[in-house]
């Protein structure tokens, strides 16, 4: 049995015991001005949950530093990967890394000191502010990647491709936009505060006043719904273009009396391969951000009875997995990145093994 910390304790079966009348966040100090009363109406949550969340943050932080660090390093040092399209890839990795460094460290340290957010109200707002910047940059970078791939694949040789300088400028503007769109809560439009499990901070989407609701609604539309529409539009055009191209190849092959015009069954253009990587990223992004958007939408609809600390807290953790899993998607799906990564870090063992030639192979002969 654990010693009873702050009036709570777990028995040998991990059942939670607490004094009569105890509520979630009772021992949270100095946060009364920004914590939403909604979270304090619940009974104390099992402290093991926050411990597991903190450990998950530490794990994802480590994974993000290694993975995104590799992406930034490999794409920056490899000449053949230094294209305008990959400027957006590097920008995405920077945004992912920024999110986990600014979020993983505070939460990772926090779990060894306190059950709830211990850094104070202002740090809570800064934590949420950094999350707004990183999240907006990630989402909008996915839009730019979709636009660039659509321009290259759908436009073909006639498309006017972005220069590296223009792509870099677009990324810089994106960071400025993300910062500007995350500042309003500091000046009275909207609010930041502890969320769900009270170990992290984000937009306060439960406040009933129109000031806060209007900010959350505008953010939900501009940072999730509108980008989602654009991404669907870009990639639907890409899929349609690829399908039409395949039909044309089959038609030409039929006219020439051959089975296929491709040199091998695995012959694909670089654009199509990169498009597959980007689409994989979009799917990963959508399925990790959609639960959080749904929780925010419940708050806007005032379905407060559905917003328990656990329901509100887990989608926020799920978002962080995107920042850590993106590099793994690249390692699994981007051929040129895998090749460069294998050359730079051969110890990873992800490169193709060289087949022994007939001259080098030895034939064992049984002794006479």
DSSP code string of 203-236: E-----SHHHHHHHHHHHIIIIIHHHHHHHHHHH
> CA neighbours within 13 Å on the CB side: how many for 78?
21
Give the pTM: 0.85
pLDDT in tens, the chain (368 residues): 444 445 676 766 777 778 888 888 888 888 988 999 999 999 888 888 888 999 999 999 999 999 999 999 998 888 888 888 889 989 999 999 999 999 999 999 998 888 899 999 999 999 999 999 999 999 999 899 888 888 888 877 667 788 899 999 999 999 999 999 999 999 999 999 999 999 999 999 999 999 999 999 999 999 999 999 998 898 888 878 877 776 777 777 677 766 665 554 444 555 566 667 667 777 877 888 899 999 999 999 999 999 999 999 889 888 888 888 877 776 667 778 888 888 888 776 665 544 444 444 444 444 44
Q: Which two tokens stand for residue 247?
A: 């039909």
> Helix, strand or coil for residue 9?
strand
* pLDDT in the model for residue 278: 67
* pLDDT in the model for residue 18: 80
d(CA 11, CA 141): 48
> Helix, strand or coil for residue 17?
strand
d(CA 20, CA 44): 11
Write down the domain spans for the chain: 29-345
Specify the CATH number of the domain 29-345.
1.20.1070.10
Closest CA to 288 of 181, 138, 160, 164: 138
At a CB cut-off of 8 Å and minimum separation 6, what does 19 contact? 7
* pLDDT in the model for residue 23: 87
d(CA 232, CA 282): 9
Provide the 8-state DSSP code for 267.
-
CA 116 from chain center: how many Å? 24
């Amino acid at each position: 049995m654990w010693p009873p910390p702050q009036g709570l304790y777990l028995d040998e079966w991990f059942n939670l015991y607490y004094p009569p009348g105890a509520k979630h966040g009772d021992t949270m100090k100095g946060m009364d001005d920004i914590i939403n009363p909604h979270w304090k109406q619940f009974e104390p949550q099992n402290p093991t949950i926050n411990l597991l969340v903190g450990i998950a943050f530490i794990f994802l932080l480590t994974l993000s530093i290694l993975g995104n660090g590799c992406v930034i390093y490999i794409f920056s040092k490899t000449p053949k990967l230094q294209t305008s399209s990959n400027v957006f890839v590097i920008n995405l990795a920077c945004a992912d890394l920024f999110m986990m460094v600014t979020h993983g460290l505070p939460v990772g340290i926090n779990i060894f000191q306190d059950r709830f957010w211990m850094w104070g109200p202002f740090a809570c707002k800064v934590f949420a502010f950094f999350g707004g910047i990183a999240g907006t940059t990630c989402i909008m970078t996915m839009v730019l990647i979709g636009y660039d791939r659509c321009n290259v694949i759908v436009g073909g040789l006639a498309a006017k491709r972005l220069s590296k300088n223009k792509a870099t400028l677009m990324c810089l503007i994106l960071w400025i936009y993300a910062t500007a769109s995350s500042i309003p809560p500091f000046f009275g439009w909207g609010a930041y505060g502890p969320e769900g499990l009270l170990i992290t901070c984000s937009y306060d989407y439960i406040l009933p006043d129109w000031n806060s609701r209007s900010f959350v609604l505008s953010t939900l539309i501009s940072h999730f719904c509108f980008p989602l529409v654009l991404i669907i539009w870009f990639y639907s055009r890409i899929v349609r273009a690829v399908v039409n191209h395949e039909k044309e190849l089959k038609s030409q092959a039929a006219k020439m009396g051959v089975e296929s015009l491709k040199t091998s069954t695995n012959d694909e253009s670089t654009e199509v391969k990169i498009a597959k990587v980007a689409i994989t990223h979009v799917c990963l992004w959508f399925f990790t951000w959609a639960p959080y958007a749904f929780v925010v939408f419940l708050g806007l609809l005032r379905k407060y009875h559905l917003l328990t600390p656990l329901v509100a807290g887990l989608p926020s953790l799920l978002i962080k997995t995107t920042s850590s899993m993106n590099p793994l998607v690249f390692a699994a799906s981007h051929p040129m990145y895998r090749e460069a990564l294998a050359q730079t870090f051969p110890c990873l063992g992800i490169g193709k093994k060289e087949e022994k030639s007939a001259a080098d192979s030895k034939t064992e002969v049984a002794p006479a």
